[in-house]
Structure 1
Amino acid sequence: MEQLSGTDSYFLYTERGNNYNHVAALGIYDPSTAPGGMVRYKDILQYFSRRLDINKVFRRRLVTVPHEFDRPYWVDDADLDLEFHIRHIALPEPGDWRQLMIQVARLHSRPLDRSRPLWEIYVVGGLDKIPGLPVGSFALFLKFHHASVDGQAGAALLKAVHSLSPTPDDDGHPRSTIYAERDPTSVELYTRAVAHGVVRTGSISKLYLNTLSKVAGLTIDQIARQLKPGDPGAAAAATPPGFVKAPATRFNGLVSANRVVEAVGLPLDAMQRARTRIDDITINDLFLAIVGGALRKYLAAKEELPAKSLTALMPMSVRQEGKPGKGGNEVGGVPVPLRTDVADPVGRLLAVRADAQAAKRGSETMGRGFLKSILDDLPNFASEAFMRYAVYPQLNVTVSNVRGPDVPLYMSGARLVHFYPVSIASDHIGLNHTGFSYNGVMWITAVACRNMMPDPAFYAECLRGSFDELMAAIDARPSAAHPPAPGGKPARIHAVTAKRRRAKPVAPPPVSPRARATAKGKMKTKTKTRTQSGAKARGAPAVAKSKKRRG
């Protein structure tokens, strides 16, 4: 029996109303690599039955303390009903990309059953009418509660449940004896709660003293820079994060019970080539700039773009390398401006880079694990109040980028061809972007409240358009010193003029005329410059095209 950490418990405590704190992933598989060229539902059941013991998340279920007097516990459940957790469904007609996204959104809008281990897998058939997919392809939609996994733990879980080869590897995962744990009695739970209360009192005192000592160690110059965030020298110093209220947008209200999901694939080789043209930018900087450009396009089309930049919560892993940890959540986070106020794509990229570096330095001042310490050491009601009144007002959306495997993975012999992370949209932060790199592609999924984003297909077009504009703008830059980035040092453009090859795309799924008419009907465009370019036939699992440009 293992008690949840404060961070893990927070995701359970705040799951109420229309807030669902589970994370998910959509994988699309090519069965042609499997023995016999096909994968049946019972093959998938057998495959996962051999892997239930490689990660504790598959067998752990919750035991709650009466009246929430203490944090819940995980207990091992040996009596697992595999067919309850792994279900088989098929897309309704016409079975296209839009139907797949609608089905995923509906599945993602349902909470997990807390009386059982907190995970579900849906085997989705009927994908043959999605352009660009191998014949016979099927999908797996995997749901896990955020109380049991974070981004890095989820990436490790993905590797664990897949193979590196299409050949059977039965001997690599032998069955082991599982010993069920009995549920503790109420007396035992209350006794433990009293002892834990004494320990946490000391932890809260330690958190208070640590925070006070770090604040007391600030210089007058650092405090002045924090009070004047526009100061050019602010980005260069390790200044603690301050309270900067984000502009009000459609994404900052209370979420409804329904979600929308849309996804794109962007070629990593194009992003790596962009890194050779400008010094000191990372894949994460490019990801943030692409999202910032997409938000600018989307809100401008609706005449809702604020003059002030939107700000995103950027999660940061606090796991110690070389230490396996206990699973669950080892994550903090910092607010990062997405520079939606900058029209020039390269200027936005450089501004995002400077702001992201400043945010990371600021988090180091207070400690990267400061936010996690708040959630771990304070009672749930106090943690929720801190997040609601001190953190959420600074944010508009969430952005998270997780590095995945760069080699092909297989499940029951079928090759994983596309992988889309699906995360959480919650009250006050009703839009989430998660990027996951797998086998040469960055897969980006947007999850939003249906009322806040009724036209997710149009937002996918905005993401692709932002990517294309940024890559073209970087290619068009002269091989000379670039003007200084806001608040940072000058960025140098390399003399390398490597030609960008056209990325081999997977045929994009078309946007239906009705969906396009709906999106256009809800947009009021003042000038032709705001008119979005005509959408090409959009492919499901689409990897965006990299357009050729003359140097």
Structure 2
Amino acid sequence: MSQLTSVDAVFLNAETDTTRAHIAGLGVVDPATCPGGRLTAAALAGLISRRAHLAPRPLRRRLVQVPLGLDRPYWEDDPEFDPARHISEVTLPRPGDDEQLARLVAALHERPLDRSRPLWELVLIHGLAGGRAAVYMKVHHAAIDGVMAAEALAALLDLSPDERDVPADETAPQRAPGTAEMMRDGLLRMAGHPLASALSVVRSVPLLDDVPGVGSLPGVGRVARLARGVLGRREHPAADTPAAPPTPFNRPIGARRAVAFGELPLDDVKRVGRALGGSVNDVVMALCATALRTWLDKRGELPAGPLVAGVPISLRRPDRGADEAAEGNMTSILAAPLATHVADPADRFTAVRADMDRMKRRFTESGGWVRDLSALVPAPFAGAATKLALLAAPMTGMRPLNLIVSNVPGPQFPLFLGGARVLAYYPVSLVTDLSGGLNITVFSYDGTIDVGIITCRDLVPDPSELVDHLHDALGELTELLRD
């Protein structure tokens, strides 16, 4: 038996008519090595049926709500679980190009998941040019974080076209508590919430100057430093993160989405990093800074100061392994300046690398604020509080962040899904009024960096332009090596 954590519940409660809180991936595959040369929905349903239990949060689990909303929902195994009910097939019309695929994925990503069933959906897409196929799979963020998503994906993949043997599922089905037990536990938790909330306040006040949008408010830094002094905590490196400036993608988002994807050669990115003295992540962040600078400058919207990027950071510890799966989402956000205001490419890279180093050192001291703040409000009122925060942000002009930029390292060897070789894997994440109407997520796989960009279509109608700018940005940094 497991229950949503306070962070899980934030993602569940964050959904509105314009905000969808699921994350997804788009795998482009070559079905030539499948039985019969074709990947089918039936084959994928069988694969998931045999391996659903291997995912860190099993794919067969559904939500069970507590009566009257007295407590956070529970997870239980769906007694009628059938993977085929979650899988559909579509065929793109000719010519089956990437632009058609991107439009289809954007439309699929706009649709909410059915909360009466396990919170995932898979669409098998035929008709891509060159005999390719694609698999789009989305999972609700309340059920899974980025690391768990990668582990769930790994459970379905093989190292060759031949399916590996996996142990059978011998665990007893998990059931949620009965109604009376859920209500009793919910009332007890509400009675103890003032104490739990007080402890969360004690933990979170010293970290307030790390909360995006809050840390830049007058007096917050002084209060946080005072709290650290009273509690005897050592002072961490200064944040000096500016307020996020206004941009065209920091306006109220709508319900429509636009998607673009592309690839960058990983060897070139590594070569730039080695030559300029930075990591792959430093290069990725610098490329995003350059692409955004170009995009904003073309529109006459380039701010005089840096943008502020939210960078998701996993709080999972490698030594805990599968034990942490029951603890739900373990993700926080690092808010870092993105030096879009620096004109010289070399100076821009240096600024990005220095800012990321400084913010990562600070994050090691203060990364737990997401968990503590999410636990401040009792469960019966948490949903309303989350929605109020999302609604209030555009009305008050609050901009905690300009956008999300995420870099997920992946395997550097080919993988196979149901016998089909995975050619590329593009992440498709989420946008909100608080995080901005633009999200750039990259995933390194088999020698490439696969880029997935999702936007609010009302704010950034054609994100493929940003993919082009990323290529230009890499060329610009590569040119520095020749000078």
TM-score (norm 1): 0.76
Q: Note if 1:305 corresponds to 2:302.
A: yes
Q: Note if 1:393 corresponds to 2:387.
A: no
Report SS of the residue matched to 1:70. coil
Q: 1:255 aligns with which of 227, 245, 253?
A: 253
Query: Runs of 5+ in structure 2 lacking a partner?
Result: 210-217, 223-234
1:95-114 matched pairs, under 5 angstroms: 95-114=96-115
Q: 2:270 aligns with which of 266, 269, 272?
A: 272
Cα deviation, residue 178, structure 1: 5.2
Contact 1:24 1:421 in 2 (8 A): yes
Q: 1:438 aligns with which of 430, 441, 445?
A: 445
Counterpart in the other structure of 1:168? 163
Report SS of the residue matched to 1:326. helix
Contact 1:91 1:99 in 2 (8 A): yes
Counterpart in the other structure of 2:12? 12
Counterpart in the other structure of 1:22? 22
Contact 2:32 2:38 in 1 (8 A): yes
One-letter amino acid of the structure 2 residue matched with residue 108 of structure 1: H
Cα deviation, residue 183, structure 1: 6.5
Cα deviation, residue 424, structure 1: 0.2
Counterpart in the other structure of 2:173? 179
> Which protein has the larger Cα radius of gyration, Structure 1 or Structure 2?
1
Counterpart in the other structure of 1:282? 279
Cα deviation, residue 215, structure 1: 8.6
Report SS of the residue matched to 1:394. coil
Report SS of the residue matched to 1:419. strand
Counterpart in the other structure of 1:464? 471
After superposition, what is the alpha-carbon deviation per residue over 1:218-261, rounded to whole angstroms, capped at 9, x for unaligned? Answer: xxxxx99x79xxxxxxxxx9335467321111111221111000
Q: Note if 1:156 corresponds to 2:162.
A: no
Change in Cα spacing, 1:238 to 1:385, as seen in structure 2 (3 Å) is farther
In 1: Cα distance, 2:191 partner to 2:353 partner: 44
After superposition, what is the alpha-carbon deviation per residue over 1:73-125, rounded to whole angstroms, capped at 9, x for unaligned? Answer: 11111311322201111113432111000000000010100111000000000
One-letter amino acid of the structure 1 residue matched with residue 359 of structure 2: A
> Would you say how many aligned residue pairs link Structure 1 and Structure 2?
450
1:329-368 matched pairs, under 5 angstroms: 329-365=329-365, 367-368=366-367
Counterpart in the other structure of 1:59? 60
Q: Note if 1:119 corresponds to 2:120.
A: yes
Counterpart in the other structure of 1:417? 423
Contact 2:25 2:427 in 1 (8 A): yes
1:197-208 matched pairs, under 5 angstroms: 197-208=190-201
In 2: Cα distance, 1:427 partner to 1:67 partner: 28
The structure whose residues are more often helix, as a share, is: 2
In 2: Cα distance, 1:410 partner to 1:120 partner: 20
Change in Cα spacing, 1:394 to 1:41, as seen in structure 2 (3 Å) is closer
Counterpart in the other structure of 1:372? 371
After superposition, what is the alpha-carbon deviation per residue over 1:371-403, rounded to whole angstroms, capped at 9, x for unaligned? Answer: 222124444355667787699623110111111
In 2: Cα distance, 1:215 partner to 1:260 partner: 34
Cα deviation, residue 11, structure 1: 0.4
Contact 1:121 1:142 in 2 (8 A): yes
Cα deviation, residue 207, structure 1: 2.5
Report SS of the residue matched to 2:51. coil
Change in Cα spacing, 1:368 to 1:209, as seen in structure 2 (3 Å) is same
Counterpart in the other structure of 2:215? none
Contact 2:41 2:84 in 1 (8 A): no
In 1: Cα distance, 2:61 partner to 2:291 partner: 39
Change in Cα spacing, 1:119 to 1:391, as seen in structure 2 (3 Å) is farther
In 2: Cα distance, 1:471 partner to 1:98 partner: 28
Counterpart in the other structure of 1:476? 482
Give the root-mean-square deviation of aligned CA atoms.
2.6
Counterpart in the other structure of 2:413? 407
One-letter amino acid of the structure 1 residue matched with residue 151 of structure 2: A
1:511-522 matched pairs, under 5 angstroms: none
In 2: Cα distance, 1:25 partner to 1:433 partner: 13
Cα deviation, residue 301, structure 1: 1.2
Counterpart in the other structure of 1:196? 189
Report SS of the residue matched to 1:53. helix
Counterpart in the other structure of 2:70? 69
One-letter amino acid of the structure 1 residue matched with residue 190 of structure 2: G
Contact 2:161 2:420 in 1 (8 A): yes
Change in Cα spacing, 1:338 to 1:215, as seen in structure 2 (3 Å) is closer
In 1: Cα distance, 2:196 partner to 2:439 partner: 32
Change in Cα spacing, 1:430 to 1:14, as seen in structure 2 (3 Å) is same
Contact 1:263 1:420 in 2 (8 A): yes
In 2: Cα distance, 1:374 partner to 1:385 partner: 15
Query: Runs of 5+ in structure 1 lacking a partner?
Result: 129-134, 217-222, 228-236, 478-551
In 1: Cα distance, 2:206 partner to 2:94 partner: 62
Cα deviation, residue 404, structure 1: 1.3
In 1: Cα distance, 2:408 partner to 2:386 partner: 26
Equivalent pairs: percent with the same residue?
A: 36
Counterpart in the other structure of 1:230? none
After superposition, what is the alpha-carbon deviation per residue over 1:296-329, rounded to whole angstroms, capped at 9, x for unaligned? Answer: 1111111111112111111111111211212531
Contact 1:375 1:383 in 2 (8 A): no
Contact 1:61 1:74 in 2 (8 A): yes
One-letter amino acid of the structure 2 residue matched with residue 60 of structure 1: R
Cα deviation, residue 211, structure 1: 4.2
In 2: Cα distance, 1:37 partner to 1:14 partner: 42
Change in Cα spacing, 1:401 to 1:391, as seen in structure 2 (3 Å) is farther
Counterpart in the other structure of 2:226? none
Cα deviation, residue 277, structure 1: 1.0
